[in-house]
Structure 1
């Protein structure tokens, strides 16, 4: 029987994170959503407007007997630049911030520990700005955002941003792929 846990992570556009995590062995599902804001059940348009306080997130349901939370975090930190405040590349605004929305004190401790390791190793030239905060006000994004990359191969953003990021990711994490 699977030991399913959840991770909720924000690192720029949720389409990139969702596509990557859905290809990882041990991940049962990953869904695009919103978290950390002050509006109940916001729409994509509201979140993009930057007035709700939400971040675009991916909720990862994973079998911790197959993949650890630490491994989920290692993948997360490899998928985005955790030193960019309220942006990822050309996506600008607090909805694109880097954040770990923890579900337990253990997840909080692990996230803080891995950030400390990244800082100590000086992997990035700038300090990590990833927020580590309790999960609040989560809602799943609209259906058309789910599995967006696979369902919209003709989309320019997917071709220009998501596809290259996923190609690099799949090369780096080849041993972890389904």
Structure 2
């Protein structure tokens, strides 16, 4: 029995090392790591995504990073802050660094400098931190390709920092898988909507999301639009609770596009779905983001927009439909 164990042990160790040889990692900054973790975890070939902090000159903890960013804004410190990042581990047998970086470019806006959406600060910078010259080369090559696509779609210059990784610390436990544990009633959106050139799979996946509503076919005086996303279960709940029972003079329409109806204007970019936007004269006047099943919250928002009759009609419809 002892001899058998001695013979098997080297084989098991070799097999484990062989499996590890197929794994590689890259450190990516895409704004708040909660959404970045969720989006990168969905990529084929990615086996693990961990939230963390990288390339700063201070102690790496969530509270200290936020406090230090405040000091920087006041001009009280010149020390570099950490970047909120995700450590992406992927299987090189089933995917490539290029494919992972395509997902990176498409799933956030790399043109915003020290911010990402509503999150502002150097800790939210777009970044790629590499562990080899080969990774750096691939990062630069994919950046230059995506830059041309962004310019063709009237976006600005990419501000993503590409640099060697100097330090990394895993984030606190409560930050890991945060959106899985705390869904908050919405599905986060990321990216500019611009497809990486030649990424045909993304073209197929997003084909149904790019068609904008036609503003000429909507009510120019007052129109509600529900911005949704494929696979968003909060959108599905909103449809079942609200849309399927809608009885109101003010029209409501659904859209899978991140863009407003053609010829109409949003006050700011969408960050999550569902987002319900009230348009008047083709311009956004109010919005409600997220739906966690709290219908009273939605009705209160309608009431604030002088639309209480609509809320009453929906409620009456739901009561009669379920009686």
Q: TM-score band (shorter)? A: 0.7 to 0.9
**Paired residue for 2:265?**
none
Query: 2:52 aligned with 1:33, yes or no?
Result: yes
* RMSD between superposed Cα atoms in Å: 2.3
1:125 aligns with 2:155: yes
In structure 2, distance between residues paired with 1:20 and 1:87: 18
Counterparts of 2:167 and 2:24, CA distance in 1: 18
**Corresponding position of 2:136:** 108
Which of 122, 140, 148 does residue 170 from structure 2 map onto?
A: 140
Measured in 1, the distance between the counterparts of 2:203 and 2:169 equals 29
Residue of 63, 66, 79 corresponding to 1:48: 66
Give the distance between the partners of 1:14 and 1:96, measured in 2 at CA: 9
Task: Give the CA deviation at 1:117.
Answer: 1.1
- Count of aligned pairs: 166
How far residue 174 of structure 1 moved from its aligned partner, in angstroms, is 8.1
Offset at residue 110 of structure 1 (A): 0.4
Q: Are residues 1:73 and 2:98 paired?
A: no
- The whole-number CA distance in structure 1 between the counterparts of 2:111 and 2:26 is 20
Other structure's SS at 1:82 match: coil
TM-score (norm 2): 0.48
- Structure 1 unmatched ranges of 5 or more: none
Distance 2:203 2:188 in 1: 14
Deviations 1:7-51 (A, max 9, x none): 1000101011111122222111000000010124x1101112326
How much does 1:153 deviate? 1.8
Structure 1 stretches of at least 4 aligned residues deviating more than 3 Å after TM superposition? 171-175
The structure, 1 or 2, with the larger RCO (C-alpha pairs under 8 Å, 6+ apart) is 1
Q: Match for residue 23 of structure 1?
A: 42
